[in-house]
Amino acid sequence: MTTQEENDRLCLIEGDAPMGTAFRRYWLPFALAEELPEPDCPPIRVRILGEDLVAFRDTDGAVGLLDAHCPHRQAPLYFGRNEECGLRCVYHGWKFDITGQCVDMPSEPDYSKFKYTIRATAYPTWEAAGMLFAYLGPETLRPPTPDYEWVRVPESHRVVSKAMEHCNYLQAVEGGIDAVHTSFLHNNDIQSPLLLRSRDKHPPIEVQLTDFGYRYACLRDIGEGRVYARVDNFLLPSMNSFSRTVDEIGQPAKLPIVTFLFWVPIDNVTTAIYNICCRTDPGAPFPPEFGPTQQANFGIGAANRIPGTYWNKRNIGNDYLIDRTVQRYKTYTGIEGIGVQDYAVQEGMGLICDRTKEHVASSDRAVVAARKLLLEMVETVQSGGDPKGLRPESHRAARAADKFIGADTEWRGALAGEMAAVW
């Protein structure tokens, strides 16, 4: 059983909360590159780990991430003028570059040297894979930028999207690393006996600890001496990856992919989800229609979002537009879209799930392992050490995999080749 103290330690990330302090040791996504599409474009509001910031792309194309408020009189920099390699506060004209240095102070006399003493809080940024990252921790402990496989994939072989959830990050993470729930929540054809997820609804789960977090295998017995082995990765602090080389009925997938999900805490009760799909075949890029089609099928495409936001139209306020007739005769949930099905159960747990009331079972082995690793991550940071997964060498070769193996075959050896990154 999870105690209230453990639950708070796992979930709370704002201010000086230990988990938030640990998250700050990693490079974290804070926006898609498309949100700052060109030099001197309008700035955007950013909230991450409970901190309000403003991001802008300067005249040279570099990205700055500053405190949301001008250090003069705390006016909002979001309304600032983005011009000539700096963001200028519209209250009194103070201007700041991407490092936070005040570079112009027209409200003071020309002879004043005051501007040289003023800096806005600024965080280092990094742009890669169509995403914008920030390092929010102590500068003396800044790690190298990550080297995940999806960072190295060519743009033609990668599709990136973003969504938002009204719940604590851990509920979203635990949904992503729960391989067994797909037999139920995501069963979109309850009449079909052919679906792999329907053939074995209580597969064993095995966990293998690694330098980046852990691998975990979901081993579905599909009969005739065969097992469908799906080996996912949990990468600290809050990323999951899984492979799809076979389709839902066990045939070779028309478009084999590896998917990464990075859940980033916005605050204690809000989460951003970055979804990165990568092609596994270096000679076969994504067709142009893949991204929009896949996102629409998952219920998270542009047409599914509230205009101008990354929030879904199907939400807790309208019960995710559940159709009870569809639920009775066609799908397990009656909710359209795999992503929306996840939101329904994760947000429905409450803004922060009360884990003291849980009764975890054998199918929750990966979830329990993740909680232990997260608590160990906090302890490591508090003791002055480097948490797992921080260094590029710990995760650059990590690859999720799936494959049919013999019922008596050991999955680690059988999937060793598939579990090595291609790019």
Task: Please give the full DSSP string across 314-356, using - where no structure is assigned.
Answer: S-GGGGGG--HHHHHHT-SS--SSHHHHHHHHHHHT-SS--GG
Query: In this model, does residue 340 exceed pLDDT 90?
Result: yes
Tokens of 226: 């065969």
Q: H-type helices in 109-189, by residue range? A: 149-152, 169-176
- Residue 68 CA to residue 50 CA, distance in Å, equals 12
Mean pLDDT (whole number) for 285-298: 92
- Cβ-in-10-Å burial (0-12, 13-18, 19+) of 247 comes to middle
Q: Are 421 and 397 in contact (CB under 8 A)?
A: yes
- Cβ-in-10-Å burial (0-12, 13-18, 19+) of 103 comes to middle
Q: Are 207 and 219 in contact (CB under 8 A)?
A: no
User: Pick the residue with more confidence: 134 or 196?
Assistant: 134
Helices vs strands, H then E, count in the chain = 11, 18
Q: Where do the domains of the chain lie, and which CATH numbers do they carry?
A: 27-141 (2.102.10.10), 149-414 (3.90.380.10)
- Cβ-in-10-Å burial (0-12, 13-18, 19+) of 91 comes to middle
| pLDDT at 317 (0 to 100) | 97
- The three-state secondary structure class of 373 is helix
Tokens of 220: 């579905």
Pairing of strands 44-48, 51-57: antiparallel
Per residue in 268-281, pLDDT (tens digit) is 999 999 999 999 88
- Residue 328 CA to residue 82 CA, distance in Å, equals 54
Q: Are 232 and 260 in contact (CB under 8 A)?
A: no
- Residue 388 CA to residue 22 CA, distance in Å, equals 11
Query: In this model, does residue 250 exceed pLDDT 90?
Result: no
The share of the chain scoring above pLDDT 70, in percent, equals 100
181: Cβ contacts below 8 Å, ≥ 6 apart: 175
- Residue 143 CA to residue 132 CA, distance in Å, equals 16
Mean pLDDT (whole number) for 248-258: 91
| pLDDT at 293 (0 to 100) | 92
pTM of the model: 0.96
Mean pLDDT (whole number) for 169-189: 95
- Residue 174 CA to residue 366 CA, distance in Å, equals 8
| pLDDT at 197 (0 to 100) | 80
How many residues make up the chain in this entry?
423
Query: In this model, does residue 249 exceed pLDDT 90?
Result: no
| pLDDT at 41 (0 to 100) | 98
**Which among 34, 29, 31, 275 has a CA at the least distance from the CA of 136?**
29
What's the gap between Cα 122 and its chain centre?
Answer: 23
pLDDT band at 345 (very low <50, low <70, confident <90, very high): very high
| pLDDT at 248 (0 to 100) | 87
| pLDDT at 199 (0 to 100) | 86
- Residue 348 CA to residue 325 CA, distance in Å, equals 21
**Which among 63, 102, 58, 103 has a CA at the least distance from the CA of 81?**
58
| pLDDT at 194 (0 to 100) | 78
pLDDT band at 1 (very low <50, low <70, confident <90, very high): confident
Pairing of strands 239-246, 158-165: unpaired
